[in-house]
Structure 1
Amino acid sequence: MKKNAQTALIHAPRRAPQYIQTVQPPLFRASTIIFENTDALFNRHWTDAYDYSYGTHGTPTTFTLGDHIAQIEGGLYHLLAPSGLSAINLVNSCLLSQGDEVWVPDNIYGPNMEHLRNLQQRYGIAVKVYNPLEVENFSPSDKAKLLWLEAAGSVTLEFPDLIGLVKKAQAHNILTALDNTWGAGLAFNAFDFGNEHLSVDMTVHALTKYPSGGGDILMGSVVTRDQHLHHQLFRMHAIQGICVSGDDVAQVQRSLASMQLRYEHQAKSTIELLNWLKLQPQFAQVLHPADATSAGHAYWKEICRDGHSAGLVSVIFDNNYKLQDIRNFCDSLKLFKLGFSWGGPVSLVMLYNLKEMRVLEHSHLKEGFLVRFCIGLEHPEDLIQDIQQALKVLA
């Protein structure tokens, strides 16, 4: 059939073969996906392992990354979201209904708590806070539906009694969701841990952090081993129109090959920094799961048996220092940049006031303002020198 020049621009007469073997998988950008015929259109179902029906449901690019993330974390099924918080909200929106009870650790990621408080106000969901170091503090009623876990906890980095909490949740038929961003699927297997081979029901992972590695991509994931639970989440995922950019997915996929190398390097640098920080008199307390004095160290040692830990360490300044003193310290840092997130090449610092963040009292935490260091790829000696020169403003 002879084509008009305009038509020929859209329907080219020749097309190169579509698949070759390359180091990186091909990038698919798609909203519309073309069906070969009506049989292909009508003989498909949204629960198919690879349902190529519309861009929001997935392309070979998104399924390739999702499969890879699920494999790293020890799961079978995956969903991608435009950010870690979006993935968290997907879990909450899908699994919680009016009158349900959800339990969260006192060191929960702040935006997750904010989302749950919003659900509490609008739909009557009961939000209960527990101490992640004390299993008996988690006392669910028969309305309890979901238990959130963080290993390690946000900002103060306590490693929870993961074994005890999961066993108790299972005994009460409560779903468990682990924010696995700190462990990244590398520190431990959330779907097979402890001597009893325990498993959480699902993990949420901010791929923004270690999988991306560049500090320039926002993305999240939800991984599970249970097909029925996956279909529940996938249905809500589709209803809410949650999707990710193929270009962003390709960037994260490209970074996965170096993720473990970066994770281990940053963790090693953090341990070196930790040992130095503990000697500085300006700090009343240094917080890191691998340190024997830190809360939850025994639980970390039991779960992360190869000594794996992420590149985060927090310090609590002596209580004699005022807020302005700590702000001056942060402003004096040169290599550490003031910003949220972690896992990228540049080291970051952030200042927190624990009194505004915690619901429960914690005797294991000293009084004072907290600063969290997120270690990048700089040489640890240079980072130590940077902190050393910034501490001079406190004199």
Structure 2
Amino acid sequence: MKRSNNERLKRFLAEEARAEGFDLMAVTTPDAIPQAGERLRQYITDKHHGTMEWMEETAERRASPGALWPEVRSVIMLAMNYGPEDDPLAVLNRRDRAAISVYAQNRDYHDIIKGKLKQIAGRFAARAGSDVKVFVDTAPVMEKPLAAAAGIGWQGKHTNLVSREFGSWLFLGSIFTTAEIAPDEPETDHCGSCRACLDICPTNAFPAPYRLDARRCISYLTVEHKGPIAHEFRKALGNRIYGCDDCLAVCPWNKFAEEAHEAKLRARDDLKAPKLEALLALDDAAFRTLFSGSPVKRIGRDRFLRNVLIAAGNSGDQNLLSQVEQLLDDPSPLVRGTAVWALGQLAEPRIFRKLRKALTASETDDTVLAEWRMAERQDPVGER
């Protein structure tokens, strides 16, 4: 009887998941990832989490679902395909345009997934007579190891989840429940000898297969990192202004997602490859309007313009120079400092010297002054 009821609950979950637009659903136990805690502690010890202090602060709860909610007996993992319609790397060759990561070209997936999880969890709780909690990314839950333990996929060499059906393009969410549900078998690693995701990384962010140093990752630098982006990475950013899809896009397993399935979330046309010229003109109100409902909005206008200015400096487009010059007077030191760098990449010697003389005399922010000094030393500007 217990087995029969268990099977009915799983069928019910699978049907509800499909009805809400999820592509995969599987179940694991809260103690299925015993090695995850030690790996996380080593990751933090190595400082590979960069300035993401919340990782260290929540490490104990993140290490085990039971530490987060002692009553949990089963973890239901759900995944939704968000694979792109077109090659997301094609925009990297259009230097007058901006590359926004595929996941951020639509509404914030946290809101989309969480709403759907709540619907499923509510109906499941009523059916099973059990308590439930839902989590999507922002909570201290290690979704990728749990999804691998549940059999949805495996963590590839780029540390992201890979599915034989959907490649590297999956949003994940979880439902914790006090109900005891028979777990599914974990997925095995199918990466083999392939290292395409490691070799394509523009900043060499993988010190070894299955290990990521976030401090070198473009997704971290453009989204999580709050201050100036280190000079050693600026050229490598190219025109990537929010996130980076390189390691995901080259995964050979993506071909199955392209051949057999449609993504549930379509990109907004105005976010597929927006013009740098238009983005440089955004004030705070225009930024909030353009990215309303988008995950991009979370980083704020100043950090966003920091990223756009680096893309402008890398573009070689002299038509952007006047906008870069205007941002040298921006209220934000982060924006002003990055504008100095972009100016150094685009301006003729005479223009650079004139602006340096005019603006450094009144500049009071040390980080901006440091950018001016650095720009002076860079060839060919520093010699002009």
TM-score computed with the length of structure 1 as normaliser: 0.25
TM-score computed with the length of structure 2 as normaliser: 0.25
| Structure with the higher helix share, 1 or 2 | 2
| Structure with the higher strand share, 1 or 2 | 1
